[in-house]
């Protein structure tokens, strides 16, 4: 059992929330972002007291058929996305900037560089809008960044030692002990044997992770799990279960800002425009961890109820069409199933 002791600091001075969003079938509705904010209120209200940076990533091209993972939208999707961005801004300002009422937004410019230097096309200009007090920031790239470069652009503007990275389609479904997790991360900053630099939240596929094939098939990873998996006890008495994670996932996570920039984005060549961290650097990190180099990445999984408690739900943002349409689809399929059952009963009665 490890003990974490840190000076008391308000969460708002330690943490910045980074929300990434992009074209989605539910646009111009803000149902996805609304679900995220509602889950914060229900399961981790302290997140709403923090500064927030929203990356409003754009599309790559307009085509007859949407392929959102490739950045491809239809002409209608392009139109609705412009309205979606405005609706998201209004929603975020209302949620995170309630005390100040209507604030004007300061405008500045930035740049996201990638690939080899001295190549004119290897940059993406950024429009940055920020409230005067810096509480809310919006990043709008002139061309598609992808999740990786979107997160890097936000990290560079974060003024806190830790960040909460939130994709737009992963709401919380369980309470998250945010203050104790931050206490643990801060207290282990100088610990090279058992550092806590990144904490992922469990989704369906990560339940019972410590006993899964992702760990059990590799002797080194089994050994690391046996030696590191534990309950950290903070100075306040909070008991927080963590198990080492042998991957860097994009799904919602808590991380050290400095560690993120140094480990994931050491150079402009780290990730291509349009790329996801878990699809590239995540696999490289896992390969190194299989060889025993886990402390370099210092990745953990929050592990309540010994890995049996779910903390996230995936709304499938590339196909999700909003609360109303999703309810209509569920009702339609429920009716189809009921009709099928009636037909089967009728056939059985006639047999």
In a domain, 14, yes or no: yes
Whether 300 and 190 have beta carbons less than 8 Å apart is answered as no
Q: Are residues 301 and 176 in the same domain?
A: yes
Burial of 349 (0-12, 13-18, 19+ CB in 10 A): exposed
pLDDT tens string 236-258: 899 999 999 999 999 999 999 99
Question: Which tokens sit at 137?
Answer: 């920031």
Same structural domain, 200 and 337: no
Average pLDDT across the chain, whole number: 91
DSSP state of 148: H
Are residues 200 and 227 both part of a single domain?
Answer: yes
Which own/partner pairs from 57-60 qualify as long-range (CB within 8 Å, at least 24 positions apart)? 57/20, 57/21, 57/22, 57/141, 57/144, 57/145, 57/146, 57/147, 57/150, 58/22, 58/23, 58/140, 58/141, 58/142, 58/143, 58/144, 59/22, 59/23, 59/144, 60/143, 60/144, 60/274
CA distance linking residue 325 with residue 126, whole number of Å: 33
Specify whether 300 is located in the same domain as 152: yes
- CA 246 vs CA 198, 256, 278: distances in Å: 11, 17, 11
How many domains is the chain built from? Answer: 2
- Rounded to whole angstroms, the Cα distance separating 94 from 58 reads 23
H/E element, 19: strand 15-21
Confidence at residue 97, expressed as pLDDT on a 0 to 100 scale: 80
Phi, psi of 312 (to 5 degrees): -130, 150
pTM for this predicted structure: 0.89
Report if residue 318 sits inside a domain.
no
- The whole-number pLDDT of residue 102 equals 63
Both tokens assigned to 155: 């990290």
For residues 250 and 338, state if they share a domain. no
Please write the tens of the pLDDT for every residue from 48-101. Answer: 999 999 999 999 999 999 999 889 999 999 999 999 999 999 999 999 986 665
Per the structure, the complete domain to which residue 142 belongs is given by: 2-307
Residue 30 is predicted with a pLDDT of: 97
Beta bridge partners, 73, equal 62
Number of H helices, E strands in the chain: 10, 14
Query: What pLDDT sits at residue 143?
Result: 95
Residue 315 in any domain: the answer is no
């Amino acid at each position: 059992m490890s003990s974490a002791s840190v000076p008391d600091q308000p969460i708002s001075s330690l943490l910045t929330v980074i929300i990434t969003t992009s074209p989605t079938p539910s646009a111009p509705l803000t149902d996805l972002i609304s679900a995220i904010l509602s889950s914060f209120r229900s399961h981790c209200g302290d997140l709403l007291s923090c500064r927030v940076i929203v990356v409003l990533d754009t599309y790559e091209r307009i085509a007859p058929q949407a392929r959102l993972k490739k950045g491809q939208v239809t002409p209608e999707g392009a139109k609705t996305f412009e309205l979606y961005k405005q609706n998201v801004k209004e929603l975020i300002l209302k949620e995170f900037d309630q005390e100040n009422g209507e604030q004007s937004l300061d405008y500045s410019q930035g740049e996201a560089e990638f690939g080899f230097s001295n190549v004119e096309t290897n940059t993406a200009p950024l429009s940055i809008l920020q409230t005067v007090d810096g509480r809310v920031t919006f990043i709008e790239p002139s061309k598609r960044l992808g999740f990786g470069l979107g997160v890097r652009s936000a990290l560079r503007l974060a003024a806190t030692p830790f960040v909460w990275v939130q994709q737009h389609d992963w709401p919380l479904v369980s309470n998250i002990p945010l203050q104790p997790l931050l206490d643990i991360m801060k207290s282990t900053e100088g610990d090279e044997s058992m550092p806590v630099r990144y904490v992922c939240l469990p989704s369906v596929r990560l339940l019972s992770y410590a006993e899964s094939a992702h760990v059990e098939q590799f002797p080194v990873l089994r050994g690391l799990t046996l030696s590191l998996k534990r309950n950290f006890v903070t100075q306040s008495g909070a008991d927080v279960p963590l198990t080492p994670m042998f991957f860097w996932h994009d799904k919602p996570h808590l991380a050290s800002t400095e560690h993120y920039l140094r480990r994931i984005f050491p150079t402009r060549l780290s990730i291509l425009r349009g790329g996801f961290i878990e699809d590239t650097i995540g696999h490289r990190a896992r390969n190194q961890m299989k060889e025993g180099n886990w402390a370099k990445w210092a990745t953990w999984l929050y592990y309540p109820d010994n890995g049996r408690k779910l903390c996230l739900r995936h709304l499938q943002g590339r196909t999700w069409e909003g609360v109303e349409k999703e309810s209509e689809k569920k009702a339609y399929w429920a009716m189809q199933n009921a009709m099928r059952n009636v037909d089967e009963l009728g056939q059985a009665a006639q047999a």
